[in-house]
Amino acid sequence: MGGDPAYTRENAGRALGCEAAGGKGRSSRCVSAVETECRVSAEEKLSAVEGIKAASNFLRGTVAAELAEDSDQFSAESIQVLKHHGTYQQDNRDDRAAARADGKAGKQFSMMVRSRIPGGQLTASQLLAELDLCERFGGGTLRITSRQGLQIHGVVKARLRDVIAQINATGLSTLAACGDVNRNVMCCPAPYQTPVHLELQQLAQTLAHHFAPRTRAYREIWLCDAAGTPQRRVDENQGAGDDEPIYGRTYLPRKFKMGIALPHDNCIDVYTHDLGLLAVIEQDRVIGFNVLVGGGLGVTPSNKKTYPALAKRLGFVAARDVVAVAEAVVKVQRDHGNREDRKLARLKYLVDHWGIEAFRARVDAYCGHRLQPLHPAEVHAMCDHIGWEAQGDGRWYYGLNVENGRLADTPQRQWKSALRAICGTLAPGLRLTAHQSILLTNLQERDRPVLEEILRRHGVPLSEETSTVRRWSMACVAWPTCGLAITESERALPGLIDQLEAELDRWGLARDVFTVRMTGCPNGCARPYNADIGLVGKARGRYSVYLGGSPQGTRLNFLFQDLVPLEQIVPLLSPLFAAFRDQRQEGESFGDFCHRCGRDALCALAAPPPPPTA
Ligand code: HEM
Ligand code: SF4
């Protein structure tokens, strides 16, 4: 279906209601005059996924029919449609190997179900429900993601509807957690009771609501009985009608990510987003935002045209106009983003292709007024919100560092049980961080020893007992569930951190803050390309080692060495740590130091000493 050569941008233009591309009956709600300047030849061949979206009737496709079938897997078309509903089909690659060893052919399919949680804010009962679901219907663990969401892995197809329905019953949603739409809106989760934090967190909710797909497909498929009566609480946006006033019938060319940050706290890595909003604060009030566009980290090494990019500074918008400007940016990408080659479809390629001035002019035209010149406000710090801190209203929050976001009960550490006990005893508020950790909020002074005792009783390390390097580390899921993984990541990083702890101790650097991020392939889901140390799976057991990013997330790192075997990563870095200790300048992080020295100097430092001359 998707490969049908008859499917061209002309059809897509029609689907969008774009007259210039051959469409009729354009909806005025959907497309304004400036948006009809469809700009590409009608003969262009669109990617297969574009065809699937167009034919899906607003994300229905044949999902409902396939759910009723006995088979353990979805069709290729439904797999694409289902991403927009927040779920990926996967197979456990460990089990694949085991099955093969047993002489059995085939894969054992299951679904990953991702919840979209704007700003990472959820309630204790929502977390408890997700924990129950991962045990009843999933692989028994719950994962906090690097974008403030939750993932349950290992849900078999026959249970998918139960899981999605029950997530919705708690007031969360999986709609648009994945797919070619605006995904989870990230925002600093700190529960400080300041007007600025509250306003930004409210904005995250507003943007999430504004950009949620309107299609009724989600509630029809997951939340209604056979007669079409809703069985579950539904977001009022879902059900208004199938006219997608923002996205149109083919949604966006590729995923789209938004994040909101503060200059003194870039905890959500605002420069890695398609659309970043950096709050401009004057006299404790948000007066507006510096708008950043075109961040995105995914790379395909075999395609030399792909690269990781930090967002570029576009202009300033007053707080009252920020949603309109966000909508204009999304619509520019909708209409002009690359729909032929998904590898070149993220907004970053459009921004770079046009240049920031031309992009700004187009955004101005779409929203009908001009962005103002940038405010000097810029990111200058970040906080991971780990440990005890006062909220500002007499209460406390505790940032609990969860290694790689994995909530599991093992004989040594009972993360799930500890969180259940904390929720049951203290009924805290909860927030997920962009570093795959969790904040337990609204605690009284008297709750502090109770919380610490529960953690100790369950073998969960207190954040204060976690080394700095582990606390600032992050890994993507990779093996065994991610079908794109080339190497281990989540299962390899803890061992590597053990080695790093010993090495950093040796050089007196145990208290230095720098980020170490690992991914199992170059797609970059744990944001390795702006970390002080980025480790990217490149070939079985081997990693590209990137150096020179910053804890504030404002600089891309550079490739230092390629194809380094896992066990040689720490020995490779060791002489650099020694040089950093001896030669660092005031206030430099390890990444700053590497950036200042540059690759050649670092290579010389890391090289084994030349053989002695006679
Ligand atoms: C562009 C290419 C990318 C592709 C094809 C891709 C694909 C995937 C897949 C298949 C998973 C599921 C893994 C699993 O749960 O088993 C995943 C997880 C995830 N991805 Fe990506 N991804 C890409 C880039 C990114 C980037 C650049 C980010 C953010 C900077 C990101 C954020 C995430 C997050 C938050 C998860 C959830 C699990 C985690 O926290 O590790 N992805 N991605
Ligand atoms: S970075 Fe690669 S291996 Fe890791 S979760 Fe993303 S797609 Fe999978």
Whether 432 and 483 share a structural domain: no
The H or E element containing residue 427 is none
Amino acid identity of residue 59, one-letter, is: L
Asked if the model's pLDDT at residue 438 lies above 90, the reply is yes
Three-state DSSP state, 229 = coil
Whether 439 and 484 share a structural domain: no
Question: For residue 483, which atom of ligand 2 is closest to its CA?
Answer: 8
Specify whether 183 is catalytic: yes
Total-model pTM: 0.92
Residues 564-611 pLDDT 10s? 999 999 999 999 999 999 999 999 999 999 999 999 999 999 876 666
Report the CATH number that the domain containing residue 401 is assigned in CATH: 3.90.480.10
Buried b (16+ CB within 10 A) or exposed e, 175-208: bbbbbbbbbbbbbbbbbbeeeebeebbebbeebb
Domain presence at residue 498: yes
Q: Where residue 464 falls among pLDDT bands split at 50, 70, 90?
A: very high
Strand order in the sheet with 275-282: 186-187, 258-261, 275-282, 285-293, 312-318
Whether 448 and 514 share a structural domain: no
Residues 191-241 pLDDT 10s? 999 999 999 999 999 999 999 999 999 999 999 876 666 665 555 455 556
Q: Is 112 touching ligand 1 by the criterion CB < 6 Å? A: yes
Domain presence at residue 423: yes
Domain presence at residue 122: no
* Number of domains within the chain: 4
Which among 114, 116, 219, 360 is annotated as catalytic?
114
CA of 227 relative to ligand 1 center, distance in Å: 36
Asked if the model's pLDDT at residue 10 lies above 50, the reply is no
Amino acid identity of residue 299, one-letter, is: V
Whether 348 and 337 share a structural domain: yes
Specify whether 224 is catalytic: no
Which among 267, 482, 594, 597 is annotated as catalytic?
482
Q: Which two three-digit tokens encode residue 280?
A: 């401009």
CA of 21 relative to ligand 2 center, distance in Å: 36
User: According to the model, what pLDDT value does residue 97 have?
Assistant: 73
Domain presence at residue 62: no
Which among 476, 527, 538, 597 is annotated as catalytic?
476
State the average pLDDT for the chain: 91
Where is the domain boundary, 323, 348, 383?
383
Whether 413 and 343 share a structural domain: no
Domain presence at residue 362: yes
Where is the domain boundary, 383, 406, 441?
383
User: According to the model, what pLDDT value does residue 518 have?
Assistant: 98
Whether 463 and 480 share a structural domain: no
Q: Is 487 touching ligand 2 by the criterion CB < 6 Å? A: no
Specify whether 482 is catalytic: yes
Q: Which domain range does residue 30 map to?
A: 9-55
Whether 335 and 411 share a structural domain: no
Three-state DSSP state, 187 = strand
Amino acid identity of residue 204, one-letter, is: A
Question: For residue 112, which atom of ligand 1 is closest to its CA?
Answer: 15
